Amino acid sequence: MKLLLENWRKYLTEETDATGAMEPWRIKKQKRQEDALKDLEIMGYSILGELGRGAFGVVYEVENSRTGERLAAKVVSSKSPREIENYKFAMDEKAFMPEKYAKYLPDVKKLVSGGESTVILMELLEPLDPQVAQELFAAQDTPTASKKPEKILKDPEAVAEIVEKAIEHNRILDQMRLTPEQYSEITSVAVNAATQSPHSDADELINTIYGAVVGTLTFQSPAISRAFWRALRDTVRYYFDKQIVPVHQPEEGEDHYDTWTSGGLPKTSELFPEAEGLMDAMKYFMQDQQWKPKDVHIQNVMMRPGTKDFVIVDLGLFKRGIFE
């Protein structure tokens, strides 16, 4: 406990102003965290270590001194009502949800408010398998090589889907104000070219699409043609790199290209059945529980030991409301 407090003070002290003085808000944050750690000990929990920290809180591994049960204790400001309400909703309502959806929520054991902090006690989870993380959640810092591009490039329907989106969302083509007939023609030619033979990587696919389009459409200058290629490259890589599971569950009528990082690609998503259950659960939370998932990314999804179920561990930005 003493070491944790010392480490916490050191962390805050490292971010002082030019005079070496700690800003008032950091002093309050330090006291809030220290009080929360003391409250955990009073509640009968031993603090084993820090698991992680984010913009709105710190998570510790704790152990019940009487039963030996180990849990995760998330300490947040009591002035974060949205986050606290979301965890309370999960704690109160999870038991009444179908198991096939409920399993994607953490088991929240207790919420304890004291002073300026609230402690959220929940089940202890483990990190995702690196390969799964890389494929489904765009974990670009994961050392494991992703097999996601290989899976996509082997499936003609997934390739066709990406080509169609790459043409639809190309900013240079948009500026050229093509007619619907022209869009239809170059899309058809590009899809045919891209699905005729396999490609070893995304760059090879980009060059195939580019060759098909420039062979069909006349560009006013080499500069515009090069700009088209750069825009095409960025869009295709976007769909290859971004995660399969949506970061934010889109509402009806939203532009999926901006709000759903999978880009609304059903054929591509079908190649990753391990994500299907999580995506169905996210839709259920919004449509049936009026609880919109937000901020679902690699750092906020973990795995339940034993069952290996995915669990959305950070519910802080979920949004309650009425959604279509």
DSSP string across 31-56:
HHHHHHHHHHHHTTEEEEEEEEE-SS
Q: How many CA atoms lie within 13 A of 233 on its CB side?
A: 9
Report the pLDDT value the prediction gives residue 12, as an integer from 0 to 100.
Answer: 41
Residue 145 corresponds to which tokens in the numbers above? 């090589």
**Are the beta carbons of 211 and 271 closer than 8 angstroms?**
no
Share of the chain above pLDDT 90, in %: 56
What would the mean pLDDT of 15-40 be, rounded to a whole number?
Answer: 70
What would the mean pLDDT of 236-256 be, rounded to a whole number?
Answer: 73
The per-residue pLDDT for range 163-188, each reduced to its tens digit, is 999 999 999 999 999 999 999 999 99
The per-residue pLDDT for range 113-150, each reduced to its tens digit, is 877 889 999 999 999 988 888 788 765 554 455 788 88
Whether 6 shows a pLDDT value over 60: the answer reads no
Whether 59 shows a pLDDT value over 90: the answer reads yes
Radius of gyration of the chain (CA): 24
Domain boundaries, the chain: 2-123, 139-241
Report the pLDDT value the prediction gives residue 246, as an integer from 0 to 100.
Answer: 80
Report the pLDDT value the prediction gives residue 186, as an integer from 0 to 100.
Answer: 96
**Are the beta carbons of 50 and 58 closer than 8 angstroms?**
yes
Whether 248 shows a pLDDT value over 80: the answer reads no
Mean pLDDT of the chain: 85
Gap between the terminal Cα atoms of the chain: 48
The per-residue pLDDT for range 250-280, each reduced to its tens digit, is 665 554 444 444 446 788 888 888 888 999 9
Cβ-proximal residues to 183 (8 Å cutoff; 6+ apart), any chain: 167, 168, 173
Whether 15 shows a pLDDT value over 70: the answer reads no
The strand pairing partners of 63, in sequence order, are: 46, 70
**Are the beta carbons of 316 and 120 closer than 8 angstroms?**
no
Whether 89 shows a pLDDT value over 50: the answer reads yes
CA dihedral sign, ordered 100, 142, 124, 69: positive
What 8-state DSSP symbol labels residue 1? -
Report the pLDDT value the prediction gives residue 17, as an integer from 0 to 100.
Answer: 54
For residue 106, which of 88, 90, 93 has the smallest C-alpha distance?
A: 90
Q: Is 168 helix (H, G, I), strand (E, B) or coil?
A: helix
Whether 39 shows a pLDDT value over 90: the answer reads no
Whether 209 shows a pLDDT value over 80: the answer reads yes
Whether 243 shows a pLDDT value over 90: the answer reads no
What 8-state DSSP symbol labels residue 272? -
Whether 161 shows a pLDDT value over 60: the answer reads yes
Cβ-proximal residues to 176 (8 Å cutoff; 6+ apart), any chain: none
The set of long-range contacts for 141-150, using a CB threshold of 8 Å and a minimum separation of 24, is 148/240, 148/244, 148/272, 149/201, 149/202, 149/240
**Are the beta carbons of 316 and 309 closer than 8 angstroms?**
no
Please give the Cα distance from 222 to 319 (Å, whole number). Answer: 48
Whether 21 shows a pLDDT value over 90: the answer reads no
The per-residue pLDDT for range 214-226, each reduced to its tens digit, is 999 999 999 999 9
Residue with tokens 């070491």: 3
Other beta carbons within 10 angstroms of residue 205's beta carbon come to 24
* pLDDT class of 22 with cuts at 50, 70, 90: low
Report the pLDDT value the prediction gives residue 8, as an integer from 0 to 100.
Answer: 41
Query: What pTM, to 2 d.p., does this model score?
Result: 0.77
| Lowest-confidence pick of 5-9, 130-134, 234-238 | 5-9
Query: From the centroid of its chain, how far is CA 221?
Result: 40
What would the mean pLDDT of 52-63 be, rounded to a whole number?
Answer: 87
- CATH hierarchy code of domain 2-123: 3.30.200.20
Report the pLDDT value the prediction gives residue 13, as an integer from 0 to 100.
Answer: 45
Report the pLDDT value the prediction gives residue 299, as an integer from 0 to 100.
Answer: 86
Greater confidence, 113 or 1?
113
